[in-house]
């Protein structure tokens, strides 16, 4: 049983009541959760990103394992099936490095699915890969591979983490403001 020695009931209650349980759309929290399922930093991290870095290092040892299935239409990434698959794999005795790889490949495919849809529909001309999760070299490589037919832009002088996201958000806001001014 996962987290048998942890206060699961208290955590569940906090989540239900919304007390000290903020919603998150961060891919980093997925890395933290999968790492914890594999016993990596399952109680605490000693530095920011430790769980994700250790999960990436583990996944690097199992290259070419198939990805978890990526169901859905791509509009929203639902991690629930991935956790069910992780539990199934753990129960079957799958090696942690294979589970770590399958998670990375699943997340890359999930990101790529929506990005391809936006470019094909004409809603986007290219995909910008930025944010803290793209400091993960394996994830970046797998997403680029999954998007090989789509124009991809990467950071060079701007950091991949929150600084890069903030710059991207500012660029989008400026473009919208220009578009609005031109239509008036």
Q: Where are the domains of the chain?
A: 9-183
**How confident is the model at residue 30, as a pLDDT?**
92
Nearest-angstrom CA–CA distance, 92 and 73: 29
The residues, any chain, with a CB within 8 Å of residue 177's CB and separated by 6 or more, are none
The band of 2, judged by pLDDT with boundaries at 50, 70 and 90, is low
Q: Is the pLDDT of residue 6 over 70?
A: no
Instruction: Tell me the pLDDT band of 9, cut-offs 50, 70 and 90.
Output: confident
End-to-end CA distance of the chain: 60
The residue among 58 and 65 whose pLDDT is bigger is 58
| Structure token digits, residue 153 | 């832009």
Reply yes or no on domain 9-183 having CATH 3.30.420.40.
yes
pLDDT at 65 over 80: no
**Would you say 116 and 91 are in contact if contact means Cβ atoms under 8 Å apart?**
no
> Nearest to residue 12, comparing CAs of 21, 22, 4?
21
User: What is the C-alpha separation between 61 and 183, in angstroms, rounded?
Assistant: 53
**Cα–Cα distance for residue pair 44/100, rounded to 1 Å:** 19
Residue 7's pLDDT is what? Answer: 66
Q: Check whether 46 has a pLDDT greater than 90.
A: no
Q: Residue 127 gets which letter from DSSP? A: E
Q: b/e for 121-157, b at 16 or more Cβ within 10 A? A: eeebeebbbbbbbbbbebbbebbbebbeebebeebee
Q: What is the mean pLDDT of the chain?
A: 87
Of all residues in the chain, what percent carry a pLDDT higher than 90? 50
């Amino acid at each position: 049983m996962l987290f048998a020695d942890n206060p699961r009931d208290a955590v569940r209650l906090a989540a239900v009541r919304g007390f000290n349980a903020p919603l998150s759309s961060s891919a980093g929290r997925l890395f933290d959760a999968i790492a914890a399922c594999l016993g990596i930093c399952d109680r605490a991290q000693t530095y920011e990103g430790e769980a994700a870095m250790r999960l990436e290092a583990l996944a690097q040892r199992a290259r070419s394992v198939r990805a978890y299935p990526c169901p859905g239409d791509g509009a929203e990434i639902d991690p629930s099936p991935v956790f069910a698959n992780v539990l199934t794999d753990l129960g079957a005795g799958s090696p942690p490095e294979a589970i770590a790889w399958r998670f990375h490949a699943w997340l890359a495919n999930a990101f790529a699915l929506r990005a391809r849809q936006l470019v094909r529909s004409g809603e986007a001309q290219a995909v910008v890969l930025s944010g803290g999760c793209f400091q993960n070299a394996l994830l970046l490589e797998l997403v680029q591979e999954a998007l090989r037919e789509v124009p991809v832009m990467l950071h060079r002088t701007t950091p991949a983490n929150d600084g890069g996201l903030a710059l991207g958000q500012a660029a989008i806001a400026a473009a919208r403001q220009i578009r609005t001014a031109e239509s008036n």
